[in-house]
Structure 1
Amino acid sequence: MKQTTDQSTQGQTGQSEGGRTGIGRRLCYAVGNLGQAAFYNALSTYFVVYVTSAMFSGVDKALAAKLIGIITGLIVVIRIAEIFIDPLLGNLIDNTTTRFGRFRPWQVIGGCTSALLLMLVYTGLFGLVNVSETWFVILFVIVFIVLDVLYSLRDISYWGMIPALSEDSHERSVYTALGSFTGSIGYNGITVVVIPIVTYFSYVFTGSRAESQSGWTSFGIIVGLLGIITALTVAFGTKENESALRAKAQKNGNPLQAFAALAKNDQLLWVALSYLLYAIANVATTGVLLYLFKFVLGQPAAFSIAGIIPIITGLIATPLYPVLNRYIPRRYLYIAGMVFMIAGYLTFIVGAQNLTMVIVALVLFYIPGTFIQMTAILSLTDSIEYGQLKTGSRNEAVTLSVRPMLDKIAGAFSNGIVGFIAVAAGMVGTATADDMTAANIRTFKMFAFYTPLALIVASLLVFVFTVKIDETMHAKIVEELEAKLADGETEDEEE
């Protein structure tokens, strides 16, 4: 199918679909990512915090440190392996044929089952480590792999559902914006409520407000229930539209195709590298903010600030980006965002032990996130036409799968980094801010701020000196590509 020849048809079809879709279907779809993003944050960030603080609280300190290293290392390996599994899961979803559609069944299967398994891992597998360390590690690996795969099925089917809900490009953008908006609330909302939930239920079950196994288990159950409710809302509150364009499942996006697209498309490769460096730095820092408030500032109750600030900045920056981009090329918005982040890291470094300075650093750190991420997404999208002009083939699915893959790579590194920092800086078990030495604080700052700062600078340099694709270049590429397609000089391989 050639995009240039079907736009009018899609617009007409989408218009009628838009009338049938209604506000209710949009809201049901949006609610899905509220629970999905909360689930992801609980799994990718706070599960490691739970592992390092409460999972092995009743175990010998030396053994606990060993088990923390094993578990965090296994999580990193599993998350990296998932990168190669995701395209296969996409093929599975694309080839699913049921009377309920391709995508909605996986919201039920993936969403509900992964939520139950999340609750299970937040129980510490019901204390199995106290019975047998070997069986604990074996069963943990099995459960976590199944949990990760099922979550991926929910995630892939959720975003893959958008073309099935409407063929109209405007309507699709509405669904994308709504999902991104609620996702921001769900992801950052978890940061706001995690400590209140854990401390409240710890008090209910133990009589102490210190973080406990029961508090973290309650947190896992709450997030799991939210995941189930929101997955079912998508499954039963939306409906996939049937059309000739969806009659045949597309089999694309396997690992070999993904690597081939990266190798042939130099602009995609450079944008991906710049974004990956940013993403690793970003998740490495956000993953240890709880440790900053708990062990460096000694004010864990103030940690909700770290969730409130990104919610507010996201609500402001998301609608502001397209307005600014009318007058400022996105290249300069990206560079400005990186400068803000560098300023934020420098503020963290000099003021990590002062709450006011930390708040200023958080604002500087979170303000540019939307600008950087949206510029990266648009640059990756524009590289589709660049690759088509360069190679003669159009790899939309493979190209657009790159950013989620990069986020998962960054998330895998984050899991390992958080666990390493916690152990290296002595921020494990029952340790408190009073136990921290100057050496502990220096170790924390080295890996939480100095190293990510170096990655941000590297990301900026890669973008400035290697990424050439921008609005002007893309317009010229499209013009040249349309001319070649009209002359029959190249073909779209999707035909």
Structure 2
Amino acid sequence: DDRGWFWFAFIVCATAFLSALAVGFGTREVENDLRKNEEDTAGIGAVLKMLVKNDQLLWVAIAYLFYGIGINLVNALELYYFTYIMGFSKGFSILSFINMIVGLFSVSFFPFLAKKFNRKPLFIGCLTMMLIGLAVFSVAGSNLALVLFAAELFFIPQPVVFLIVLMIITDSVEYGQWKLGHRDESLALSVRPLVDKFGGAISNGVVGQIAVLAGMTTGATASSITASDQFTFKIMMFAIPAVMMLIGMFIFAKKITLTEERHAQIVAELEKTWGDQFSSESSEAGVLIKDDELTAMVPVAGKVVALNDVSDPTFASGKMGSGVAIVPSDGKVYAPFDGVVKTVFVTRHAIGLVSDNGIPALIHVGIGTVKMKGTGFVTYVNEGQHVTKGEQIMEFWDPAIKKAGLDDTVMFTFANSDLFEKFEVEVKPGAEVSHTDVAVEIEK
């Protein structure tokens, strides 16, 4: 009755209000120039324009849309199934409670699955399990145990699919930057909720029509639903969603090429272009450095290695600029000078800094560590943040790098170092150093 609906609405509104307050008061925003965007990117038109250009984001959005319509239809019609097919509406409450518990375990199990399987086979495997669940559900009839079993087969993979799609959408930000030359992070991350809402709107729009077609209207009971009505309902609840999910699976299998390995390659290629932005800036401004000199400290404690002796040819060849390499003795990384954080790489293994007098430098932890996708790395700074010399800006777990079979050498380089009149490395190969030692002396 109306009292039940009142308290239901009260609980929803109170929870929403309190959680909104928690977000509002608990979230810290950092204002900086990098967050200013003079281009108008608001509206669905901007999202669609960006989608067309970023093909991987486009295809994952389309695949997820078909999938979303399918699962939303099934989820929305489950209550009708329990009420009008089984004649046991309380069974839906049992299912909802089981889903809540199972969902927590499903999400918790995702890191293990992601480590064992690539995203594409994991996505296809999840949808295959869901389709089997639909097939069992369609013949379960009024058998509560079989209905709950089928419903869980259908539900368990849903949180995993959500996370797979979310990770691919996140990776598509770097893919778009690599392909288009600029980042569209806010727009890319808005695609998932946009598709979710769009798919939900479509399914919710037809649920009422399905109920009418199947005779599930006011006054109807399970005994009044004919065999023909049941058949119509099951076509809508099981067959059509299955077709939608199969289309989504086919698109995902054929069109998604942005694997974890490909994303790591893209990030590595983007790293190589780190100094290009400063070449452009220097040609426009005429000079790169505003003051005469800079003393840069060692960013991490350890044993010095000549930069041209490291196993990464990009750094050894000097393409990333001159500098020094260090085999670390601990995992703490410090700011080598006063300056601004220009870039925090998405995989957290590298940070780009610009000194207060305009000199760009890159601190890159490990060789091939982009493949770790941030595992074992913590950054303590944000893009646009000002740091002072000796402030800790990053930390990494060295055993994790070694366990992955990778080189943990830290490279500290300066872009466009050929523009400097003086560039002297003050530490010698083989020397043990700390972050309080001078690494490089630079003069304009």
Assess same fold via TM > 0.5.
yes
Per the alignment, in what secondary structure is the counterpart of residue 427 of structure 1? coil
2:90 paired residue number:
301
1:5 paired residue number:
none
Give per-residue Cα distances to partners, 1:224-255, cap 9 Å, x unaligned: 3333343344445x253555468857763432
Give per-residue Cα distances to partners, 1:135-164, cap 9 Å, x unaligned: xxxxxxxxxxxxxxxxxxxxxxxxxxxxxx
Unaligned runs of 5+ in 2: 282-341, 343-382, 385-444
Trace 1:144-155 onto structure 2 (pairs within 5 A): none
Matched to 1:351, the amino acid is A
Aligned equivalents of 2:233, 2:280: Cα separation in 1 = 54
- 1:380: Cα distance to partner? 0.9
- 1:305: Cα distance to partner? 2.1
Cα 1:454–1:321, aligned 2, differ >3 Å: closer, same or farther? same
- 1:266: Cα distance to partner? 0.9
Matched to 2:174, the amino acid is E
1:337 paired residue number:
126
Matched to 1:404, the amino acid is P
Of 232, 256, 259, the residue aligned with 2:48 is 259
Question: What's the TM-score, normalizing by structure 1?
Answer: 0.53
- Does 2:392 correspond to 1:392? no
Question: What's the TM-score, normalizing by structure 2?
Answer: 0.59
Per the alignment, in what secondary structure is the counterpart of residue 371 of structure 1? helix
- Does 2:183 correspond to 1:382? no
- 1:328: Cα distance to partner? 1.5
Q: For the Cα contact (< 8 Å) 1:293–1:299, is it kept in 2?
A: yes
Q: For the Cα contact (< 8 Å) 1:309–1:362, is it kept in 2?
A: no
- 1:311: Cα distance to partner? 1.4
Of 334, 357, 365, the residue aligned with 2:146 is 357
Q: Which moved more, 1:299-308 or 1:483-492?
A: 483-492
Cα 1:216–1:442, aligned 2, differ >3 Å: closer, same or farther? farther
Aligned equivalents of 1:358, 1:309: Cα separation in 2 = 12
Per the alignment, in what secondary structure is the counterpart of residue 287 of structure 1? helix
Trace 1:47-446 onto structure 2 (pairs within 5 A): 202=1, 215-236=4-25, 238-244=26-32, 248=36, 252-446=41-235
Return the index of the structure with the highest Cα Rg.
2
Aligned equivalents of 1:243, 1:286: Cα separation in 2 = 41
Q: By percentage of residues, which structure has more helix?
A: 1
Q: Percent identity?
A: 37
Relative contact order, CA 8 A, sep 6+: which one is greater? 1
Q: For the Cα contact (< 8 Å) 1:484–1:490, is it kept in 2?
A: no
Aligned equivalents of 1:419, 1:490: Cα separation in 2 = 59
Aligned equivalents of 2:35, 2:184: Cα separation in 1 = 20
Matched to 2:186, the amino acid is A
Aligned equivalents of 2:166, 2:131: Cα separation in 1 = 21
2:262 paired residue number:
473
- 1:469: Cα distance to partner? 0.6
Aligned equivalents of 2:280, 2:129: Cα separation in 1 = 43
Q: For the Cα contact (< 8 Å) 1:329–1:471, is it kept in 2?
A: yes
Q: Runs (4+) of structure 1 moved beyond 6 Å?
A: 489-492
Q: By percentage of residues, which structure has more strand?
A: 2
Cα 1:247–1:285, aligned 2, differ >3 Å: closer, same or farther? closer
Give per-residue Cα distances to partners, 1:449-469, cap 9 Å, x unaligned: 110011111111111111111
Of 413, 430, 449, the residue aligned with 2:238 is 449
Per the alignment, in what secondary structure is the counterpart of residue 444 of structure 1? helix
Unaligned runs of 5+ in 1: 1-201, 203-212
- 1:332: Cα distance to partner? 1.7
Per the alignment, in what secondary structure is the counterpart of residue 394 of structure 1? coil
Cα 1:390–1:277, aligned 2, differ >3 Å: closer, same or farther? same
Cα 1:490–1:429, aligned 2, differ >3 Å: closer, same or farther? farther
Cα 1:388–1:231, aligned 2, differ >3 Å: closer, same or farther? closer
Matched to 1:379, the amino acid is I
1:66 paired residue number:
none
- 1:347: Cα distance to partner? 0.8
- 1:426: Cα distance to partner? 1.2
Per the alignment, in what secondary structure is the counterpart of residue 93 of structure 2? helix
Aligned equivalents of 1:276, 1:410: Cα separation in 2 = 6
Q: For the Cα contact (< 8 Å) 1:289–1:306, is it kept in 2?
A: no
Give per-residue Cα distances to partners, 1:282-310, cap 9 Å, x unaligned: 11111111101111010011211221222
Q: Which moved more, 1:249-258 or 1:323-332?
A: 249-258
- 1:330: Cα distance to partner? 1.9
Give per-residue Cα distances to partners, 1:372-402, cap 9 Å, x unaligned: 1111111111111111111112111111100
Per the alignment, in what secondary structure is the counterpart of residue 428 of structure 1? coil
